[in-house]
Amino acid sequence: MCRETPPRKRAESWTIWARCSKPPADHVVRTTVFLADMDDFAVVNDVYASYFTEPRPARATVQVARLPRDARIEIDAIASYEAK
C-alpha cells in the first residue's frame, strides 16, 4: 500500500484479505502487528476490535523501522483448527 493511504483504509484492506482466508477469523488465537508508524495504532486497534469478536486473540504490536515493500502494516496471525 502506498504511503498516502490513510491508516483506516490500510487496516480495512487487511480485513478484506482476512475474511477470504482459511481458517476464518474466529480460529485466530494470536497476532503480531508490525507498524511502520505507531501513530497508526489507534486506527488499527479500532478495526481490529471490529473484526475480531470476544474473546479476541492475544496480540502484540510493535513499531518497526521498515517493512518489506515499504508497507505500513504487516500482521502475522496464528490460527488453530481441526484438520480433516
Domains of the chain in sequence order: 7-79 (3.30.1330.40)
Distance CA 8, CA 12 (A): 6
Which residue type occupies 64?
V
pLDDT tens-place string over residues 25-84: 788 899 999 999 999 999 889 888 888 889 999 999 999 999 998 888 888 888 887 655
| Contact indicator for 47, 54 with CB cutoff of 8 Å | no
Pick the residue with more confidence: 70 or 13?
A: 70
Q: What's the 3-state SS for 10-69?
A: HHHHHHHHHHCCCCCHHHEEEEEEEECCHHHHHHHHHHHHHHCCCCCCEEEEEECCCCHH
- The confidence score (pLDDT) of residue 77 equals 86
Pick the residue with more confidence: 9 or 5?
A: 9
Q: Full-prediction pTM beyond 0.85?
A: no
- The confidence score (pLDDT) of residue 2 equals 38
